[in-house]
Structures are given as structure tokens and as C-alpha cells.
Chain A
């Protein structure tokens, strides 16, 4: 069922705002590889993410193309790109249960939804958490649910927006191992945006610097 992993190709991308070039990138990300983009605040990291995910404000002009394997993505709306997102905050929908959050991510025609969710939660040590209110979970637990929600949605590439910056130090290392391990296992091309050297080191992939 899981699609064959593909290469994410950012071809000659250039984003400008009122004629000023903000950033330009030309990169491949192989399946299971994590490309780390580093740079201080204001260097255009979030603009890059918005472009890749399909949320770029019309105020910006973007050139170049985005491919996943042979499929061109930059002309598709966000929901058809198959690019998953993890933010600093877990962003668990507060009005849905833990299971409801996971279910929201599952593609429509998925079979055995409940079992898949149970299995996914077991995998990250949250067995039996299905009916819980996300607000009652600890920060680490929320982060894990967010990760499983992302994976259950069967993305073909993943964007990480400083996903560990709000966790405390002990938890941070644990989550890095978990996230990168899971992504690698799923063979997903991943782009990590961070300003933490330790994130980059844990990702183990190529690094480019912005700004």
C-alpha cells in the first residue's frame, strides 16, 4: 500500500519579495535522507517551508519547480502534494481525541483504520491513549502523537519546522532518535529547518546554510 519512496527535487527554486531575492535553492533529497537547512531567524526558512508545502502567500513570487520523482508538485494545491509537516508545537486538534487526530490524517479509503491507529500508538509507547483529550497529554506524548498522525497520513515527503525546539533537553534527544528513526524507516525524503546544531548532527544528512 505504501507508495514507493521517491526523490524530492527542488529545481532552481528562487523566491523573491518585491523584486528582492530572499533565497535560492537547487537540491535533491533522497528517500530516507534528511536535508538540514540552517539559518538565523529572518533568513527565509519559513518562506522555504511555506513554498514547499504550498502555503506561500501571493505577496511572494516563486520561480523554479518542485518534483517528487517524476511528479511535479509546485503546481498542485497543498493537500495533493503528499508533503507532511511537523511544527514546533504538536498542533494536535484540540477538539478531537488522540484517535480522532490520527484518524483525521488517515487517507479516506484506508482499511482497518482503528487497528492501524492502535498499532501506531503502541509503536510510540502510547497504547490505550485513543480516547484521551490531547490537552491532558504531556509535551512529549503530544509530540509523539503528532508524529504518528503525520506518518499515518502516508506522506511522500516530510518538512520539519524546528520540531524539537520546545521540548526540554532530555526529551529532545529521545524525540530526535524517534523521529529520524521513523522517517528513515519509512524511507521519506525529509527537509529539516532548524538553528540547533545538535538537530543537524542527529539528522546526519547534508546541511545547507541560509542567510
Chain B
């Protein structure tokens, strides 16, 4: 459905022959090369930086009070919608932003905001910073969920007994085992970062914008014939994402080769202090930045007029909340019911698939890649096809159809968050259970599921957040009949009223925040008396 229009076929717009005009038009676009490079590099660089920060922090993590606090502060960041983080960050670092206001005119002497290109910079640095802010919590959460079954403390203790400094011990003994477990989430991050739209619209360069933003602009162009070029662009976007993934994969191979010697070269202490410091400093910076962005949003949600360079708004008001709150009950209920249905169905499907594979010793199949297609093909491109498909078989827009559409995005995230944990659970647990005479269903319910409770809940929280974040699938397949907090928020965001956007972004973050908190709390409460179940130190 993306491919056909890309090659000129979309009968409803009079395109009934195959040709390459769309591609020629695409190649002739001014700035296309820059757009492609921006998407490609921002995806790779941010993933690398985010992974670096997470790994460094985990290596430095000694389970001290400070480390635990930093870690706890990071998880709520996951709940904040991408667009909200972008708005918050833009307002934080802009020349007229929060930082400048706090420092002006005292430190900087600025009475008016300086004319500096910080947000929307041509190199996409602001966009990358925003992406890193969102990727770090995701990768950290995925790593923590995976670490629970690697017994890192045992490995580190062993290496320390051989004279390795703790952080070096972690890097040499735990990380090589951890990485394969978080590989799929890392790939998802690359795919997301190369094709992100909302953040790029707010923080990214504009002359030209990233490829994904250009595609949206073309799809939204009133001139419907642009949709052919937009479809070609979507195919190109897929290529860019795949190229980024391939590059990463090649990098993985190279690092694996090169690191073999480092792993066993016996160096025990060098760089340890730097890692310990750097890991904490970087993650704290990320947390602090994101928290300040959030604080900026919260401040704006109650701000009256706020003139530069005042450090605080001139007046405070609850107007914005009062205007939004009365109308959000139905959207909140819809959001929750759709999110929970999609998550439960996806959890059932994914766990059933994984359990089936585990029982029959099936290896991971190549078909898996099909599952991930929705994550790497631009949404706007293939949703059109989905609407056509649903209409063709006479399915009217309704709740169930929206849930079905959300499943396309929820299932892959749930699968990639859970599958490695599932697959790598020591098979001997179930073997012991069976050899003790327990039938397979009992081994599943009483042994496998409880052992996987933490990763399962984390995966469900991620899925819930993914479902809550869906805009286009909800709008297009719901035919506008199913308003959610996100459709409200995005529609409102198009009006650019920062104060109302702040209110809706905070509301939008509420449900995922509860989800993530429960995912962290429940295992803690259930396993309060079970030391080994409480995961990594």
C-alpha cells in the first residue's frame, strides 16, 4: 500500500499506470540529500550516545543511594510523550528559554533574547539532544529488566576477586552478556530515531527538515498529487532506516572483533574512576535536563504572561487547567480502555507465541522481521492502506478497529521487550518443574510467569505507553469517533498554545506514568521477601 502509489499507482487519484515520476520528483527536491543524511546520522548518533550513557552508568552503578535515586528518577521520563519532551527541551534551551531567563539579565546581560540558532539548528543537534533524552530511559529500563536474570553481582564479585575494579569488571563480564539481550530494543531505538516525526518537527532543522518530516508535509499537502511523491519518500525512508540498521549491525561485528583482545588483556583498573564519574554525571545530566524540561512545562501550565527575561511568569493562573479538564474525561477513559485492551491482547499473543516456541524448541524465525515492519515504515504511509483495507471489507470505524490498529505497534514493542528475557530464561527452571511432575501449564503459571513477572510487567508498561502515544492510527481508523487524550493533545499542539499544550502533555503523561510505576512497584511488593527476585543491585 506504500509501494503502489510510490510507483504511480493509486486509482482514486487517477494514478492507474506504473511509472517512476514520483521518484523523479522526489530526487529533484531541494535539500533531499541533506534530509536523508540528517535522518540517517541523527538515528545512529543518538542511539550510540544513549547506549554509551546507559552502559557507563550501569558500569558505574554500585547500588548506592545516589545511584538508586538517579535510576528512580529516570523511569518516569519514559512516560512523558516525545512531543512533550521536545516542547520542554525547546523551551529550556532556546535563546528565550528557561535557562536564558534564569541567567538574564544578571549573568548574560541580555534584555532581549539573543538571535542564536540553537533550536532547529541545521546540524540537528537540538533534535539529537531531545532524542537522547527519550532513548536513555528506554534503554536503561530495558537493560535493568534484562539484567535481573544475568546475576551481575555474582559476575562482578567474581571479577573483583580477580583484582578487577568494579566498573571494569562490569564492562568485561556483564556487558558482553547484556548486549545481546537489549539488542532488539536498540534496533527499535535506531528505527524510531531515524523516522521520528513529532520531535523533529519541534526541534529539528527546517531548511530542509529531516526526511520523515518532509514526507509528512507532502502527505499533508492540499495538492493530492503530492501523495505519489510522499509515498516514494516513505519507501526511501524505509531504505534510510534499513541502512542505519545495517550500519549499526556492521559496527556491532567490528566492535565484537576488536573488543576480544580488550576483554582478556588483563587490564583491571585503567579508566575505572573516569567511568564511575562519567556514568553518573552523564545520566544525572540527562535526568536533570529532562526534569527541567518537565518543570518548564509544569510552570507554563499555570503561567500567565511571561515576559523575557523574567525568571518566573508575571502572574499565575489555573485558567488553562480549568479550560481543559472538563473535556478530558471521555478521552481519558477511551485512552485507558484501548491501551489496556491492546496491551492485554498483545501480551496474550506474544506470551503464547513465545511459550509455544519455548516448548517446541523453535528458533527465532526470520518472519519476525515482518512484525517489526510497522516500526520502520512511516505510519502515515501505510495507515492509508489500512483504512482502505478495513473499508473494503466493510468494517466501520469503531473502538475495536482502533485497538486492532494499535496492536500493530504494541505487539512489536511487547515482543522486543519481552522475547529475549523469555528465551533466555534458564530452561532448567521449567525442566526441574516438569521433572517434579508438574504438567506444562503448571510449570508455565507457577514457575515461568512468576520468574518473568518483572520483564513482563515492564513490557506491558512499554506497550501501554506505545498505545497511548498513537495519534494517526487512532484518528484514521477510528474515523474521528474515538477521541483519546493523544488525539486531543496533538490537535491542540497544532495550535501552538504552549500553556494548553503543557496541560495536555502532563495529562498525557499521567497514564503511562502510572503504568511504569506499577511495573516497578508490583515486583517489589510481591517479592518483598525474595532477595533474588528483586533484580540487579
Binding site for B on A (CB under 8 A): 53-55, 57-59, 77-85, 87, 89, 91, 93-95, 97, 104-105, 107, 133-136, 149-150, 153-155, 159
Question: Is B438's CB under 8 angstroms from A93's CB?
Answer: no
Q: Would you list 29 pairs from A and B whose C-beta atoms are within 8 A, ordered by A residue?
A: A53-B434, A55-B434, A57-B361, A77-B434, A78-B434, A79-B434, A79-B443, A80-B437, A87-B432, A91-B429, A91-B432, A94-B451, A94-B532, A95-B450, A95-B451, A95-B453, A97-B529, A104-B433, A104-B447, A105-B436, A105-B437, A107-B437, A133-B529, A133-B532, A135-B532, A136-B531, A153-B435, A153-B436, A155-B435
In residues 523-537 of chain B, which contact A (Cβ within 8 Å)? 527, 529-533
Q: Assuming the A-B contacts A87-B428, A135-B531, are A54 and B434 also in contact, with contact meaning beta carbons closer than 8 angstroms in the complex?
A: yes
Closest Cβ–Cβ distance, residue A81 to chain B (whole Å):
8
B446 / chain A contacts, CB cutoff of 8 Å: 104
Taken together as a complex, chains A and B put the C-alpha atoms of A87 and B427 apart, in Å, by: 12
Taken together as a complex, chains A and B put the C-alpha atoms of A104 and B431 apart, in Å, by: 13
Taken together as a complex, chains A and B put the C-alpha atoms of A54 and B533 apart, in Å, by: 28
Taken together as a complex, chains A and B put the C-alpha atoms of A134 and B529 apart, in Å, by: 10
Q: Assuming the A-B contacts A79-B434, A84-B435, A94-B451, are A55 and B532 also in contact, with contact meaning beta carbons closer than 8 angstroms in the complex?
A: no
Query: 9 shortest A-B CB distances, which residue pairs?
Result: A94-B532, A135-B531, A78-B434, A135-B532, A105-B436, A85-B435, A153-B436, A79-B434, A95-B450
Question: Is A95's CB under 8 angstroms from B361's CB?
Answer: no
Whether, in the assembled complex, B439 has its beta carbon less than 8 Å from a beta carbon of chain A, the answer is yes
Which of B437, B438, B531 is in CB contact (< 8 Å) with A82? Answer: B437
A87 / chain B contacts, CB cutoff of 8 Å: 428, 432
A95 / chain B contacts, CB cutoff of 8 Å: 450-451, 453, 527, 530, 533
Taken together as a complex, chains A and B put the C-alpha atoms of A12 and B429 apart, in Å, by: 30
- Considering residues B435, B443, B447, which has the most beta carbons from chain A within 10 angstroms of its beta carbon? B435
Question: Is B428's CB under 8 angstroms from A91's CB?
Answer: yes
Find the A residue at minimum CB distance from B446: A104
B443 / chain A contacts, CB cutoff of 8 Å: 79
Q: Interface size class for chain B?
A: 20 to 34
B427 / chain A contacts, CB cutoff of 8 Å: 55
A57 / chain B contacts, CB cutoff of 8 Å: 361
B433 / chain A contacts, CB cutoff of 8 Å: 93, 104
Which of A53, A59, A97 is in CB contact (< 8 Å) with B435? Answer: A53
B432 / chain A contacts, CB cutoff of 8 Å: 85, 87, 91
Taken together as a complex, chains A and B put the C-alpha atoms of A80 and B443 apart, in Å, by: 13
A133 / chain B contacts, CB cutoff of 8 Å: 529-532
Find the A residue at minimum CB distance from B450: A95
Taken together as a complex, chains A and B put the C-alpha atoms of A94 and B531 apart, in Å, by: 8
Whether, in the assembled complex, B440 has its beta carbon less than 8 Å from a beta carbon of chain A, the answer is yes
Question: Is A59's CB under 8 angstroms from B361's CB?
Answer: yes
Taken together as a complex, chains A and B put the C-alpha atoms of A191 and B343 apart, in Å, by: 46
Taken together as a complex, chains A and B put the C-alpha atoms of A57 and B360 apart, in Å, by: 8
Question: Is B530's CB under 8 angstroms from A79's CB?
Answer: no
Closest Cβ–Cβ distance, residue B324 to chain A (whole Å):
43
In residues 405-436 of chain B, which contact A (Cβ within 8 Å)? 426-429, 431-436
B429 / chain A contacts, CB cutoff of 8 Å: 91, 93
Known: A87-B428, A94-B451, A95-B453. 18 other contacts (CB 8 A): A53-B431, A54-B434, A55-B431, A55-B434, A57-B361, A79-B439, A82-B437, A93-B433, A93-B450, A94-B531, A94-B532, A95-B527, A95-B533, A104-B436, A105-B436, A135-B531, A153-B435, A155-B437
Question: Is B431's CB under 8 angstroms from A85's CB?
Answer: yes
A80 / chain B contacts, CB cutoff of 8 Å: 437
Find the B residue at minimum CB distance from A105: B436
Closest Cβ–Cβ distance, residue B301 to chain A (whole Å):
42
Taken together as a complex, chains A and B put the C-alpha atoms of A97 and B438 apart, in Å, by: 18
Taken together as a complex, chains A and B put the C-alpha atoms of A77 and B431 apart, in Å, by: 11
A93 / chain B contacts, CB cutoff of 8 Å: 429, 433, 447, 450-451
Taken together as a complex, chains A and B put the C-alpha atoms of A89 and B246 apart, in Å, by: 40
Question: Is A58's CB under 8 angstroms from B530's CB?
Answer: no
Find the B residue at minimum CB distance from A107: B437
Taken together as a complex, chains A and B put the C-alpha atoms of A77 and B359 apart, in Å, by: 11
